[in-house]
Chains A and B, each alone.
Chain A
Amino acid sequence: MQAKQSVNDFVIKFANVNGTGSASANSMFAKAIFRMGIPVSPRNIFPSNIQGMPTWYEVRVSQDGYLGRRGGIDIMVCVNPQSIKRDVAEVESGGYFIYDSTKPLDLRLIREDVNYFGIPFTDICLREYTDARQRLLFKNVIYVGALSALLNIDFNVLKDLVADQFKGKEKLITPNIYALELGYQYAVTHFECPIGIHLERGHKLAKHIEDFDNILMDGNTAAALGAVYAGATVAAWYPITPSTSVVDAFDKYCRRLRIDPGTGKKNYAIIQAEDELSALGMVIGANWNGARAFTATSGPGVSLMSEFLGLAYFAEVPTVLIDVQRAGPSTGMPTRTQQSDVLMAAYASHGDTKHVLLFPATPAECFSMTVEAFDLAERLQTPIIIMSDLDLGMNEWMSPPLEFDGDFKYDRGKVLSAADLDGMEERFGRYKDVDGDGITYRTYPGVHPDKGAYFTRGTSRDEYAAYTEDGDEYVRNMDRLLRKFETAKSLVPEPKIKQSEMETRYGAVFFGTTASPAYEAIEILEKEGIDLDTLRIRSFPFNHEVEQFIREHDRIFVIEQNRDGQMRRLLLNETSVPAKEKLIPILEYNGLPVTARKIAGMIRNYVTHGNVTPLTRRSATEEISA
């Protein structure tokens, strides 16, 4: 049997029982590889449950710096007998299966083409510890220690991580390091270490990681920090997976940064609302009154918030909403990822509505786009929805460091002060398009004793905010809102375009967490002679660059993680695409982050079986069929 061999390039998966403390051990494993300067991307694949159910942790190690899921498992670390059957089956031929050998392995689980490494984790724990809780927790640390030997993880890095983890609880450091050593010693004594797949520090420079200045961070924490930097003072929310950690992190940073040292009082307010409707109502009330406010939720919450999104759109109240998408519809798969809120978010609410969407693809973008969202919301006086997802929000991603320009100044949009009102000769009209960009001037309540008061309403109104059922006034207002949406095109983040080295008339469009595996898939295909230009959408409304990209290519693969090709439909709706056939849906919607192999396979399949002419001037078909 051929055992797989590779350096700094593999996929390892841990099969655990949830609620047993495996998450922190697994996270330490990934961070150790990261600290060795080797690109790594870990992912939790967890159940909607607190204790006792199977849970997995998949870690991609990629010398080249690919951060999306690759597909396939090279090494399985199985510490959960519940899922062992499917875990064995999932290992690729030539791969490795590390398991608890306290009890002999069922013969039916032995595959000829897999390398087995049995380590008696339970036995070691029973021997070493008397306390049941310790036996459970240290088992995780022991397998990390064993992997340190098997995969050649720098043991000193692990020791440092333990010290970091237990800062303030120093008495736990020695026992944890001892547990690491137990695993390490067992592995070096019983196996030839390292195994064929392993790590090497400074092996060669990663292709996509220019210098190793990266950070390891989850998108929700980054978005929360963005809200702090943007000066958000009010957060109202309702707990929902996978967005909960956004407000948790906002709370954490505010406790650190926003308590007045003199009075001990808070320069912020966080309310856990009774539901998502109320959460968004509070955000709208606070923004109306001149504070920057936001909420974070997931699809089911956005459904409930649709009513208020319509109000904020029509009454023109700035609003920031972070949607950490999960698999729908309805309760769907609450702990699985998807990009399936695109259409709902774009058009949320009854009547003619359109909302500005931002699509971050990295934690650095979760941070920068959240900062930007507050400016956009106030400049455009409309809801801004940040479309994150579970994969980006809850998993740790290698990301460029967070950046913040020291000269950056908040743009609070068109707000009239008391002095502005005093200086005005004409009558203040809240909905009067003075500048022709569709954006009108607003005032904060209480600003002036006699001027600037107006009536905010979800009903139709004239330019002076008075109720009207006059059809012409209504149409004028609706058209102005459309003009404002047009203005938004010049303000929202522009797409990222990458041209193929070969001239090609074919392109790929994607957004958010689909970007990493898509870029990798494009490189896989390039080697096969299938060349594609790419465009990563970063916002809606689509600006002229998106239009142009579509115009300039004959076939465009729209890669996304939902069933119905929602971004494709939005593109068909909101750009001047001449024909439906031009946009080819490439879809994955099983709730796990889409893999590079899957994307490459679907595009390849289309090219080879789709009865289309070769995508480049090269004769691609021969190479592919070979």
Chain B
Amino acid sequence: MTFVKPAFRHPDAPLNELGRSRQDYEGGLSTLCAGCGHDSVSAAIIDACFELNIEPHKVAKLSGIGCSSKTPAYFLSGSHSFNSVHGRMPSVATGANLANRDLIYIGISGDGDTASIGLGQFAHVVRRNLNMTYIVENNGCYGLTKGQDSATMDTGSPNKKGDINMYSPIDLARLAIEIGATFVGRSFSGDKQQLIPLIKAAISHRGFALLDVVSPCVTFNNHSESTKSYEYMRGANTDMPVDFVPMRQEITATYDSGATCEVCMHDGSVVRLYKQDNDYDIEDRQSALEATNHYAKEGKILTGLLYIQRDSEELHDVLGTARRPLNSMTEQQLCPGPRFLDSINAGLR
């Protein structure tokens, strides 16, 4: 690394319950383009983990390939990280989670990594309800190879060269809801107020949590006609503000009950959503699909917590694996020893 972050720490920097400052959750200096939406997402992850009092070493960061997948180097330097191969992060995360269910798994991917080369693995990690947070930094293009269209690019949206995309887009949030995801949120890298609580809720969710975050590519896909630009998002974003109240904290504020929806999560935390539409039931798949569809037809992008299933069986529940992490099992627990082999041999004669 050519650049080194200054080690200076403000003496009055606030500390969290673990006695760690926000800086303890930072990573290396970003090498992404100035203004890249992905850096805002990294910052939101840092804030979320700091505020949730997560011990950095209890987090495992995983990614695939692309601009987005570089970002785990830019947050939580105290965590182990695995930058795997293109589109294959879900499988590596699955194996890692099987080995040690006690860590927090945060996967970072992009729209190329997830919606094209990795669509297969993405679909199957959703199906398996792996206990992880999966963040797609969605900018509609391939940044690292200089701006080719990705599969999430909207029909009719032009790329930087002016070519209009005529293919149908893949909406990852809708797809995830369809195939059984138990937590699906959509957000915008420019909306920190919404993104941080959403990340906190996603981390607290027991099971697979997808956050599809529109994160503009300032270099290749931020022109005014693009539907993944800052400008477009600011106009089209129909946001449902989100609050996250961690477990054990008292809920103090009161809100207009009509449009507010509170969901008590598995660990006792509460996620609160301020809906645009009162009929929308975020615990109903069909309702969630209809709501996103309704806004899409109006040229709007609905953001917030789109769908949640509070109680679900994550992969370990389905498999019936031991509560103790598999990677902590000892030789005595695992190896049957020579005497059992004698009985095997005897049965084969």
Interface residues of A, Cβ cutoff 8 Å to B: 35, 214-217, 225, 228-231, 233-234, 236, 257-258, 260, 263-271, 273-275, 277-291, 293, 307-308, 311, 401-406, 409-410, 443-450, 453-459, 466-467
* Segment 55-88 of B: residues with Cβ below 8 Å from A: 55-58, 60, 62, 72-73, 77-85, 88
Residues of B within 8 A of A277 (CB): 88, 91, 121
Shortest beta-carbon distance from A472 to chain B in Å: 15
Partner of B83, one of A260, A307, A459: A459
User: Known contacts A285-B96, A307-B85: does B91 contact A273 (CB below 8 Å)?
Assistant: yes
CA distance A445 to B348 in the complex (A): 42
* Complex partner residue of B58 from A264, A270, A285, A446, CB under 8 angstroms: A446
- Check B78 against A265 for contact (C-beta < 8 Å): no
Binds A, one of B223-231, B247-255, B302-310, B314-322: B314-322
Establish whether residues A216 and B349, one from each chain, have CB atoms under 8 Å apart when the complex forms. yes
Among A258, A278, A283, chain B packs the most CB atoms within 10 A around the CB of A278
Residues in B206-260 with C-beta less than 8 Å from chain A: none
Query: Cβ of B326: which chain A residues have Cβ within 8 Å of it?
Result: 233-234, 267-269, 286, 291
A443 and B80 alpha carbons, distance in the complex (Å): 9
- Near A by CB (< 8 A), chain B positions 141-176 give none
Known: A445-B60, A447-B57. Contact between A285 and B92, CB under 8 A?
yes
Decide yes or no whether B120 CB sits under 8 A from chain A.
Answer: yes
Q: How many whole Å from A444's CB to the nearest CB in chain B?
A: 7
Q: Which of B90, B120, B331, B349 has the most CB of A within 10 A?
A: B349
A284 — which chain B residues lie within 8 A by C-beta? Answer: 84, 92, 95
For B120, B128, B338, the residue with the greatest tally of chain A CB atoms inside 10 Å of its CB is B338
Count of chain B residues with Cβ under 8 Å from any Cβ of A? 61
Q: Knowing A446-B80, A446-B103 touch, does A231 contact B329 (C-beta < 8 A)?
A: yes
In the complex, the answer to whether A233 meets B334 with C-beta atoms within 8 Å is yes
Closest Cβ–Cβ distance, residue A132 to chain B (whole Å):
34
With A288-B82, A456-B80 given, name 6 new contacts (CB 8 A). A265-B322, A281-B84, A285-B98, A289-B100, A307-B85, A450-B78
| B115 at the binding interface (Cβ < 8 Å) | no
Contact flags B97-140 to A (C-beta < 8 A → 1, else 0): 11110110000000000000000110110001000000000000
A279 to B124, alpha carbons, bound, how many Å? 12
A422–B58 alpha-carbon span in the complex (Å): 18
Residues of chain A within 8 A of B327, CB atoms compared:
233, 286, 289-291, 444
Contacts of B99 in A (CB 8 A): 233-234, 285-291, 293
The answer to whether B91 touches A278 (Cβ under 8 A) is: yes
- Which of A274, A401, A406, A446 contacts B120 (CB under 8 A)? A274
17 A-B pairs within 8 Å (CB atoms) are namely A35-B349, A273-B124, A277-B88, A277-B121, A278-B124, A281-B88, A281-B121, A289-B60, A289-B99, A291-B99, A403-B341, A443-B80, A445-B100, A445-B103, A449-B78, A450-B78, A466-B1
B336 at the interface (CB under 8 A from A): yes
> In the complex the two chains form, what is the Cα distance from A113 to B83 in whole Å?
69
Question: A289 → chain B, closest Cβ, in Å?
Answer: 4
Considering the complex, give the chain A residue whose CB is closest to the CB of B102.
Answer: A446
Partner of A410, one of B56, B84, B102, B331: B331
A601 to chain B, nearest CB (A): 34
Q: Are B323 and A263 in contact (CB under 8 A)?
A: yes
Q: Which one, B81, B90, B91, B337, contacts A406 given CB within 8 A?
A: B337
Given contacts A215-B348, A453-B79, A458-B83, whether A405 and B95 have CB atoms under 8 Å apart is no
Q: How far is the CB of B299 from chain A (nearest CB, A)?
A: 35
| Known contacts A216-B348, A278-B121, A281-B88; A445/B96 CB under 8 A | yes
Q: In the complex, what's the smallest C-beta–C-beta distance from B106 to chain A, in angstroms? A: 12
Contact B329 A446 (CB under 8 A): no
**Cβ A288 vs Cβ B96 within 8 A:** yes
| Residues on A with beta carbons closer than 8 Å to the beta carbon of B348 | 215-217
Q: Chain B residues near A311: list those with CB within 8 A.
A: 84-85
Residue from the list B57, B335, B340 in contact with A449, Cβ < 8 A: B57
Residues of B within 8 A of A236 (CB): 91, 94-95
B93 at the interface (CB under 8 A from A): yes
CB pair A455 B81 closer than 8 Å: yes
A449 touches B94 (CB 8 A): no
Instruction: Contact check, A406 vs B320: say whether CB atoms are below 8 A apart.
Output: no
Q: Are B341 and A402 in contact (CB under 8 A)?
A: yes
CB distance from B127 to the nearest CB of A (A): 9
- Please give me the residue from chain B that is nearest to A443 by CB atom: B80
**Cβ contacts under 8 Å, A409 to chain B:** 331
**Residues A308 and B85 in contact, CB atoms below 8 Å apart:** yes
Contact of A282 with B98 in the complex, beta carbons under 8 Å: yes
Considering the chains assembled together, what is the distance between the CA atoms of A388 and B348 in angstroms? 20
The residue in chain B whose Cβ has the minimal distance to the Cβ of A405 is B338
- State which of B81, B93, B333, B338 has its C-beta within 8 Å of the C-beta of A456: B81
Which of A215, A410, A453 has the most chain B CB within a 10 Å cutoff? A453
Contact check: which of B96, B320, B345 meets A402 at CB < 8 Å? B345
Contact across chains for B334 and A267 when beta carbons are under 8 A apart: yes
Is B34 in contact with chain A by the CB < 8 A criterion? Answer: no
Complex: chain A residue closest to B330, CB-CB: A231
Complex Cα spacing A444 to B90, Å = 19
A288 touches B73 (CB 8 A): no
- In Å, the complex CA distance between A402 and B348 comes to 10
Q: In the assembly, what is the distance between CA of A285 and CA of B91, in Å?
A: 7
Which residues of B sit under 8 angstroms from A447, Cβ to Cβ?
A: 57
Distance (whole angstroms) from the CB of B42 to the closest CB of chain A:
14
Q: Tell me if B337 and A458 are in contact (CB < 8 A).
A: no
Report Cα–Cα, A263/B321, bound state, in Å.
10
Contact A290 to B100, CB < 8 A, known contacts A265-B322, A274-B120, A274-B124: yes
What is the CA–CA distance of A49 and B99 in the complex, to the nearest angstrom? 37
Which residues of B have CB within 8 Å of A268?
321, 326
Report the Cα distance A410→B333, complex, angstroms.
Answer: 12
Task: Evaluate contact between A278 and B88: CB separation under 8 angstroms.
Answer: yes
Q: Which residues of B have CB within 8 Å of A229?
A: 335-336, 341
Select which of A233, A456, A457 is within 8 A of B329 by beta carbon.
Answer: A233
- Of all chain B residues, which has the CB nearest A230? B335
